[in-house]
């Protein structure tokens, strides 16, 4: 399987604290991966580096078939290159309807002039409706997204990610604060998405990770501690010591 | 599902009809039409108010919709005024010089005329040479281009520097204040080339229209201002109603999210900042011929702060709110500071409204911000029934839908 994203030898420190320490990580084109690790292991910082929010002190981040370095691109350029990111707390545009939120995310020319003269055709409307169906919000299309429940906002944000048609989805704790039924739905959306693209899920909850049924990477103190199936890593003594045993 | 702009925004049509009715009404009652129920000076005040509404519209686009609290837009307004003022003053002075020199025994050469104009205009600052920035002042067309180009370029350069470095929030506001202050201080200098603190004057006399009475000229400017406001409103409504407006509001509410969706936030900010600066410049170019005089005090930092107050009181984030705020506050302000409001004798102290008006304005700004964040424009929500539910209490958490504690109980 071809490599979509290759992170090698990346380190970053904040005021002397090494948040990421010589981290190397690879993911293929259509793969689901879960990243687990205790607090402060560098999970979110890792996402910040890939999406261009944080610049690493050293190391390389290589993207896609053409092997572009993501380190020189801005956040918006990285997003346009095909990296979608979901934040830990749901961030949707609460003042705007579900429809407008999805339309905003739809993969289109992002140039200001192109957006200014944008006219919505029937194909775009159909795409938005289809997405809303996929995330189970077709009943809520014209409600302001601020009125949605916590779980619905999480789904809307995942829907916005899918609308971007990214090749890589970075999802930060998608199941936080969800009920069991809502978790089930979230799992199925993510599993479905991983059939056609790479999905990286950062999660604390072991039960949720188990249901994703995928390869797991364990981070500890900014570098990879273990990698493999969930059963493999949970039987690793080091992992048990730093994370599970506590 | 592509409905027209008017169908999506009924308020646009309502606003444009109100504006047309207002203009017709003032025209019918003006001195130029014979009835004289509205004096020429009041027609000018109304015309100026329309220009202030136009810059308030620009402020609403940049602040109310995009969330950039620019406290420097009056710099662009003033620059627009200076650009048109240069032509008005040059051409008017030339007319006077030419007619006075017509009686000379030897007809004056071109150079003599230009020297005499320079002497006339710059004598007050102890100079007689035309500075370089007056190079185009003989041409109305070129100066009209500058009305748009100078504020636009300044905004483009300033915005590029500020947004590129990700300066946001209160820091950006302070930067814009510094910009307008620096510009005002520069223009105060006699050798700035724009007559220092004397500014440009006599702008109400439009060259070539000596035979037309001021009553008629003031009416023409009222029409021009109303037209500019109408077109500006249409443009603003078009910008904010589509996907572009959606991006702008997204930037206001969560800049980082917009960035991670792949939009270059800086580009959008720069675009709206520059466009609104151009609108402000056009508003200024229509305002100052009606005011008759422009000097650097007009672009002092306080002017731009007033602009923010108008928009806040009118209701930011809705276009008609900005217009109502600017019209209401500036007209009431004219009324209070014009000395027409009777003083209130309290026995031990007499409340003189010319002095106390500022206190009233400041207080109402604080009260609006605290108790009616939607401003005057929010009143319309009561008529259209768009009131949001009064939501108290905490989120009930996952599973219970979007209801909150108190709603769920009842």
Of B1, B264, B271, the CB nearest to A76: B264
**B5 reaches A (C-beta below 8 A):** no
Cα separation of A180 and A158, whole Å? Answer: 18
**In three state form, how does the secondary structure of A142-191 look?**
CCEHHHCCHHHHHHHHHHHHHHCCCCEEEEECCCCCCCHHHHHHHHHHHH
Of A75, A79, A91, the CB nearest to B254: A91
Taking 50 as the threshold, does the pLDDT of residue B200 lie above it?
yes
The residues with which A28 forms a beta bridge, in sequence order, are A3
Where in chain A are the domains?
A: 3-244
Among the residue ranges A160-169, A176-185, B237-246, B387-396, the one predicted with the least confidence is B387-396
- Using a CB–CB cut-off of 8 Å, the residues of A that contact B are 51, 53, 74-77, 79-80, 84-85, 87, 91-96, 100, 103-105, 110-112, 115-116, 118-122, 125, 147-152, 160, 164, 177-179, 181-182
Beta-carbon separation of A148 and B402 below 8 A: yes
Cα separation of A210 and A200, whole Å? Answer: 14
- Looking at residue B20, its pLDDT comes to 96
**B244 reaches A (C-beta below 8 A):** yes
**B386 reaches A (C-beta below 8 A):** no
Q: Mean pLDDT for chain B?
A: 88
CB B281 within 8 A of CB B76: yes
Of B239, B249, B263, the CB nearest to A95: B249
Cα separation of B90 and B134, whole Å? Answer: 9
**ipTM confidence:** 0.87
Residue B40 lies in a domain: yes
Beta-carbon separation of B260 and A79 below 8 A: yes
Contacts of B2 in chain A (CB under 8 A): 119-121
Tell me the nearest-neighbour CA distance from B240 into chain A, angstroms: 9
Residue B68 lies in a domain: yes
Q: Mention every residue, 6+ apart, whose C-beta is less than 8 A from residue B138.
A: B87, B90, B91, B94
User: Mapping DSSP to helix (H, G, I), strand (E, B) and coil, where does residue A224 land?
Assistant: strand
Q: Which residue has the tokens 């009222």?
A: B222
Question: What single-letter DSSP state applies at residue B209?
Answer: -
Work out the pLDDT band at B407, boundaries 50, 70, 90: low
Contacts of B250 in chain A (CB under 8 A): 93, 96, 104
Tell me the nearest-neighbour CA distance from B328 into chain A, angstroms: 28
- Looking at residue B406, its pLDDT comes to 52
Beta-carbon separation of B243 and A79 below 8 A: no
Taking 90 as the threshold, does the pLDDT of residue B22 lie above it?
yes
CATH topology of domain A3-244: Rossmann fold (3.40.50)
**pLDDT per position as a tens digit, A24-51:** 888 988 889 999 888 888 888 899 999 9
Residue B35 lies in a domain: yes
- Looking at residue B396, its pLDDT comes to 52
- Closest to B81 measured CA to CA, from B173, B184, B162: B184
CB A171 within 8 A of CB A158: yes
Contacts of A177 in chain B (CB under 8 A): 397-398
| H helix count then E strand count, chain B | 16, 4
CB B186 within 8 A of CB B192: yes
CA angle (A69 as vertex; A63, A73 as ends), nearest 5: 105
Buried b (16+ CB within 10 A) or exposed e, B157-188: ebbbebbeeeebeeebbebbbebbbebbeebb
Beta-carbon separation of A118 and B267 below 8 A: no
Beta-carbon separation of A93 and B254 below 8 A: yes
Q: Average pLDDT of B218-240?
A: 95
Whole-structure pTM value? 0.89
**pLDDT per position as a tens digit, A44-71:** 889 999 999 889 998 999 998 888 888 8
- Reading phi first (left if > 0) and then psi (alpha if -120 to 50, else beta), residue A109 is in beta
Cα separation of A172 and B104, whole Å? Answer: 86
Residue B45 lies in a domain: yes
Taking 90 as the threshold, does the pLDDT of residue B110 lie above it?
no
What is the tally of structural domains in chain B?
A: 1
- Looking at residue B1, its pLDDT comes to 39
Taking 80 as the threshold, does the pLDDT of residue A162 lie above it?
yes
Of A118, A120, A147, the CB nearest to B1: A120
Our measurement of the distance from residue B71's CA atom to the centroid of its chain's CA atoms, rounded to an integer in Å, reads 12
By residue count, chain A amounts to: 246
- Residue A157 has which token pair? 């944000």
Cα separation of B17 and B203, whole Å? Answer: 31
**pLDDT per position as a tens digit, B306-354:** 999 999 999 988 999 999 999 999 999 888 888 778 888 888 888 888 8
Range of the domain at B258: 5-300
Tell me the nearest-neighbour CA distance from A2 into chain B, angstroms: 25
**pLDDT per position as a tens digit, A71-114:** 889 999 999 999 999 887 788 998 899 999 999 999 888 889 99
- Looking at residue A237, its pLDDT comes to 85
- Which of B61, B402, B404 should be substituted to probe chain A, the one whose Cβ sees the most A Cβ atoms within 10 Å? B402
Angle between helices B214-241 and B319-337 (to 10 degrees): 150
- Residue A189 has which token pair? 């959306």
Cα separation of B280 and B76, whole Å? Answer: 6
Among the residue ranges A107-111, B11-15, B293-297, B394-398, the one predicted with the least confidence is B394-398
Residue B369 lies in a domain: no
Helix (H) or strand (E) holding B220: helix B214-241
Instruction: Give alpha helix (H) positions in chain A.
Output: 43-51, 75-81, 98-105, 112-116, 122-134, 150-163, 180-193, 206-212, 230-234, 237-239
Cα separation of B324 and B336, whole Å? Answer: 18
Tell me the nearest-neighbour CA distance from B245 into chain A, angstroms: 8
């Amino acid at each position: 399987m071809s490599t979509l994203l290759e992170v090698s030898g990346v380190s970053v420190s904040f005021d002397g604290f090494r948040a990421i320490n010589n981290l190397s990580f690879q993911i293929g084109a259509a793969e689901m991966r879960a990243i687990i690790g205790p607090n402060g292991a560098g999970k979110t910082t890792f996402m910040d580096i890939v999406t261009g929010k944080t610049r690493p002190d050293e190391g390389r981040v290589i993207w896609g078939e053409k092997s572009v370095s993501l380190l020189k691109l801005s956040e918006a350029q990285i997003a346009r290159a095909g990296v979608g990111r979901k934040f830990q707390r749901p961030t949707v545009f609460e003042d705007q309807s579900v429809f407008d939120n999805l339309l905003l995310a739809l993969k289109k020319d992002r140039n200001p002039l192109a957006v200014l003269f944008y006219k919505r055709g029937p194909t775009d409307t159909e795409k938005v409706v289809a997405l809303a169906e996929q995330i189970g919000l077709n009943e809520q299309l014209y409600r302001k997204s601020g009125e949605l429940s916590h779980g619905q906002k999480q789904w809307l944000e995942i829907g916005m990610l899918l609308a971007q048609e990214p090749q890589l989805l970075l999802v930060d704790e998608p199941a936080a604060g969800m009920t069991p039924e809502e978790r089930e739905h979230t799992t199925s959306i993510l599993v479905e998405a991983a059939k056609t693209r790479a999905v990286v899920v950062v999660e604390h909850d072991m039960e949720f990770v188990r249901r994703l049924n995928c390869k797991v990477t364990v981070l500890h103190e900014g570098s990879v501690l273990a990698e493999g199936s969930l059963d493999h890593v949970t039987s690793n003594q080091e992992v048990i010591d730093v994370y599970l045993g506590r | 599902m592509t409905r027209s702009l008017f169908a999506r925004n009924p308020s646009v049509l309502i606003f444009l009809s109100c504006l047309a009715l207002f203009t017709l009404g003032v025209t019918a009652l003006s001195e130029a039409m014979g009835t004289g129920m509205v004096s020429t000076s009041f027609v000018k005040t109304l015309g100026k108010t329309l220009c202030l509404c136009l810059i308030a519209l620009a402020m609403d686009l940049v602040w109310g919709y995009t969330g950039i609290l620019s406290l420097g837009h009056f710099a662009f307004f003033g620059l627009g005024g200076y650009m048109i003022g240069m032509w008005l003053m040059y051409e008017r002075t030339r007319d006077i010089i030419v007619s006075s020199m017509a009686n000379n025994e030897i007809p004056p050469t071109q150079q003599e005329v230009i020297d005499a104009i320079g002497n006339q205009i710059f004598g007050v600052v102890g100079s007689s040479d035309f500075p370089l920035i007056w190079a185009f002042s003989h041409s109305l067309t070129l100066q009209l281009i500058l009305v748009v180009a100078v504020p636009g370029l300044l905004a483009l350069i300033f915005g590029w520097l500020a947004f590129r470095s990700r300066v946001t929030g209160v820091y950006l506001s302070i930067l814009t204040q510094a910009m307008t202050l620096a510009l005002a201080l520069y223009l105060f200098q006699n050798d700035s080339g724009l007559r220092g603190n004397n500014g440009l004057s006599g702008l109400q006399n439009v060259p070539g229209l000596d035979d037309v009475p001021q009553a008629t000229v003031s009416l023409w400017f009222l029409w021009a201002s109303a037209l500019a406001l109408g077109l500006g409103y249409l443009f603003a409504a078009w910008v904010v109603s589509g996907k572009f407006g959606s991006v702008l509001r997204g930037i206001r509410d969560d800049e980082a999210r917009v960035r991670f969706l792949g939009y270059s936030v800086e580009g959008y900010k720069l675009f709206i900042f520059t466009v609104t600066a151009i609108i402000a410049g056009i508003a200024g170019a229509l305002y100052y011929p009606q005011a008759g005089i422009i000097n650097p005090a007009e672009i002092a930092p306080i002017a731009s702060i007033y602009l923010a107050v108008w928009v806040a009181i009118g209701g930011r984030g809705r276009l008609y709110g900005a217009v109502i705020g600017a019209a209401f506050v500036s007209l009431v302000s004219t009324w209070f500071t014009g000395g027409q409001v009777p003083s209130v004798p309290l026995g031990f102290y007499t409340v003189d409204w010319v002095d106390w008006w500022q206190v009233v304005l400041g207080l109402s700004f604080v009260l609006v911000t605290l108790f009616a964040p939607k401003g005057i424009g929010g009143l319309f929500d009561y008529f259209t029934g768009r009131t949001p539910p009064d939501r108290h209490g905490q989120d009930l958490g996952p599973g219970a839908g979007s209801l909150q504690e108190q709603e769920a109980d009842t």
